[in-house]
Amino acid sequence: MGNAGMSVPTLSGKHVVLRAIKPGDLEPLRLWRNRPDYRQYFREYRDITPAMQQNWYDNIVLGDERVRMFAITARKDERLLGACGLCYIDPHNSSADFSLYIGADDLYIDDKYAPETGELLLHYGFETLGLHRIWAEIYAIDEAKQKLLPSLGFTPDGRHRQAHRMEDGKFTDCLFYGLLKPDYGRKKH
């Protein structure tokens, strides 16, 4: 299914608008992802080159129907803030991986844009895509997402001990969170 990523809808909240990622977004997103203080929270542990970023855009964002990626923009001025998405969408098991970060203004995960982005993404996943479960894998060092995910309704599902090697050679635990559609529905009301 070519250009799957371009078929994402525009999702609007009070402070953010989630829209399809455009070619002009690639370089700021790449630079944010390469920041060591951010990269420690991501699966990709290497610096992302422009060629790697373009490959991600062409083959994953635009070419993989199991991925729905969005640019996070400020509603008031359309400024790029970060990226989010539902990845590894599994139609058989009706599940997807939740991904979100704010790169602008040294925010990473804040109290304004990130929660609203998360709510929009969850609504899209459960109500539009009809998912049953949305999950997230984060690292034990990521205290900001350990606060964000429960605030969105996620519950801890488990831990893989010392499963991720950090840049300094030390290991940290991988934490898994999940949110089921019935629990999401109860949280909304």
CATH number, domain containing residue 87: 3.40.630.30
Looking at the chain, how many residues does it have?
Answer: 189
Sheet holding 80-90, edge to edge: 11-12, 16-19, 68-74, 80-90, 95-102, 133-139, 171-180, 155-165
| Domain span holding position 161 | 4-188
Give every CB contact of residue 11 below 8 A, 6+ residues apart in sequence. 17, 18, 19, 70, 120, 121, 123, 124
How many domains would you assign to the chain? 1
The string of pLDDT tens digits covering residues 54-85 is 999 999 999 999 999 999 999 999 999 999 99
**Of 42-56, 83-97, 107-121, which gets the smallest average pLDDT?**
42-56
Give the global pTM: 0.91
Average the pLDDT over 49-57 and give the result.
95
